[in-house]
């Protein structure tokens, strides 16, 4: 494959499409050792309020990237933290809390008063969406799985353009 075709310029609109299936707008990320009042971030929350809402941290990144001299004031710690939490939410939506590191694989039940779970890398904490529409909830049916697992294309192709 030609590497030029791999370098398609992705825009925030491309990522907005996966909010439909991954519920990015419902993720909350906690910075546990933060002593300030903004230790719980919701970097994609704006998408849940208004479908065409833009993300302040992404706008700041873009304007600063294109004109540092005039817009450097937008490159602040708040936007940096939201961008990091946005990446963390995106990775968590795809890989849950598995970092695929070389360490031992184990499962544990963790209960903390904050209602969140340790995420990838175990520094940030994440509250996964709990507002899934009923028609999107996964229900494991062993009998259906016996049929599905032998199909050549067992995965649903989702049309993100709808």
Per-residue model confidence as pLDDT tens digits over 39-93: 999 999 999 887 678 899 999 998 998 888 898 988 899 999 999 999 999 999 9
Q: Using only C-alpha atoms, what is the Rg of the chain?
A: 19
Number of H helices, E strands in the chain: 8, 4
Strand order in the sheet with 40-41: 40-41, 28-30, 125-127, 117-118
Q: Which of 50, 54, 104 is nearest to 82 (CA)?
A: 54
Residue 1 reports pLDDT greater than 50: no
Q: At what angle do helices 77-95 and 56-66 cross, to 10 degrees?
A: 120
A 10 A CB-CB count for 79 gives 19
Q: Where are the beta strands (DSSP E) in the chain?
A: 28-30, 40-41, 117-118, 125-127
Residue that wins the pLDDT comparison between 76 and 154: 76
The pLDDT assigned to 89 comes to: 94
Q: Answer yes or no: pTM beyond 0.85.
A: no
pLDDT tens sequence across 28-41 = 999 888 877 889 99
Residue that wins the pLDDT comparison between 33 and 105: 33
| Residue 4 pLDDT grade (very low, low, confident, very high; cuts 50, 70, 90) | low
């Amino acid at each position: 494959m030609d590497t030029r075709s791999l370098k398609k310029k992705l825009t925030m609109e491309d990522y907005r499409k996966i909010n439909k299936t991954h519920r990015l707008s419902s993720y909350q990320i906690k910075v546990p050792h933060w002593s300030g009042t903004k230790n719980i971030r919701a970097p994609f929350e704006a998408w849940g309020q208004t479908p065409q809402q833009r993300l302040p941290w992404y706008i700041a990144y873009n304007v600063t990237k294109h004109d540092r001299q005039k817009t450097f004031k937008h490159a602040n710690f708040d936007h940096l933290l939201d961008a990091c939490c946005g990446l963390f939410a995106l990775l968590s939506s795809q890989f849950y809390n598995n970092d695929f590191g070389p360490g031992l694989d184990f499962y544990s039940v963790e209960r903390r008063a904050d209602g969140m779970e340790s995420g990838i890398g175990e520094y940030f904490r994440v509250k996964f969406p709990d507002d899934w529409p009923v028609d999107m909830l996964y229900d494991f049916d062993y009998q259906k799985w016996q049929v599905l697992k032998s199909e050549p294309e067992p995965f649903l192709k989702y049309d993100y353009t709808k």
